[in-house]
Amino acid sequence: MTRFGFIGTGSMGGMLVRKFTGTGLLAPADIAASSKSGISSRALAETTGITAAPSNPAAAEGAGVLFLCVKPAMVRLVLSEVRPVLARGTLIVSVAGGVTLSDLEAWAGPAHRYVRVIPSVTAEQGAGVSLVAWGRGVTPGDKDLILRLFGAIGTAVETDEENFGLYIDLTSCAPAFIAVMMREFAAAAVRTGGI
């Protein structure tokens, strides 16, 4: 049975834990999570039944899959903190924008496997797009797991990492801009008597 660690239980990390456990894809008993102050991870544990780990290394130790849900500026520090306790071959999944697969490997070492996922905020409603880029050494089983997890909260789209910039704009900002433009077109039509 795989153990899952989550470091960071703010808006994104907390949402992922709630959705993954709520869909039944992950059992709460298989998840340990930590947060900077411990407050959000304890609150999440109370509502979902996961384990609130007392520290980042405690959340990472023994995890077969480790989700990094911290701000990009914190990823390097977190990886240096947990690196000594990571089991060889841990699948590290980062949702931090701007932190590349090569950054992850440089900071945690080549003994692990890496995935970058950029979920959109609409995943909370099960309607988001999650961009997925695979690092070296990722197995077919890893791909199946990640696509199942993120497919349960929206649409998981596999792409090369170099496409993230453009695709983030299309999946995050563009729908809002299009909605605002359409609303303005409709309002203009009403104002001019076109409807």
Q: What is the mean pLDDT of each run of 10 residues along the chain (195 residues)?
A: 90 92 95 95 96 97 96 96 96 92 94 90 61 92 95 81 56 56 78 73
pLDDT at 167 (0 to 100): 47
What φ, ψ does residue 100 adopt, rounded to 5°?
-80, 165
Residue 130: which of 115, 101, 151 has the closest Cα? 151
pLDDT at 11 (0 to 100): 86
pLDDT at 60 (0 to 100): 97
pLDDT at 104 (0 to 100): 95
pTM of the model: 0.83
pLDDT at 185 (0 to 100): 76
Q: Which structure tokens are listed for 55?
A: 């520290």
pLDDT at 130 (0 to 100): 79
